[in-house]
Amino acid sequence: MRIALLQLSPTGDAEQNYQKAKTFIEEATGSGADIALLPENWNIGYSSPEDYGQGQDAWNNAVITQGDDQFQKYVRLATDNKIAVALGYLEKSDHKFYDSVALIDRFGQTILNYRKVHTVRKNWEAMLDSGDEFFVADLNTKGGNVRVGAMICYDREFPEVARILMHKGAEIILVPNSAAYEINRL
């Protein structure tokens, strides 16, 4: 199994982020990857409504819901390239915002949608609601089925998360993260 860890720097625009993802997912496919893992909140570049390149309204418009046109572009990337895509995205559902990851299989099915349980309760991130469960799904790859779980960024600070996913049968745990290279990481 090969996983392309696409730790890319996002732009301030959802469409530009999609185009960048498209380029690197196509490259990952050419390298024989089974899964392309995009960073946390890839669609908005992990930015606050005030910091988003085009402002609050553009930030609100960049939020993805399951099944909308922006989400479907990533579904088409998965099917066109016959690769699973793990899309880290800012999700809106029932007037709530979630830091989510959707695992879209190579057939275009969303087999897992995980909402970050351990959210950071400071700054703009306090706007995000927490998920309440950890999921594992069967991913069909060219080499056979594999059980995949997910956690997001801060979730990894809690060993219980990995233990829960292991007990649910995860063989691989995908961890989208949006950690910028800054002074505290030198």
- The catalytic site residues sit at 40, 116, 153
Determine the Cα–Cα distance for residues 64 and 164; give it in Å rounded to an integer. Answer: 28
**36-75 residues labelled b (16+ CB within 10 A) or e (exposed):** bbbbbbbbbbbbebeebbeeeeebeebbbeeeeebbebbb
- Provide the pairing of β-strand 84-93 with 35-37: parallel
Determine the Cα–Cα distance for residues 81 and 77; give it in Å rounded to an integer. Answer: 6
Tokens, residue 147: 């059980």
| Closest-CA residue to 131 (of 89, 175, 156, 98) | 98
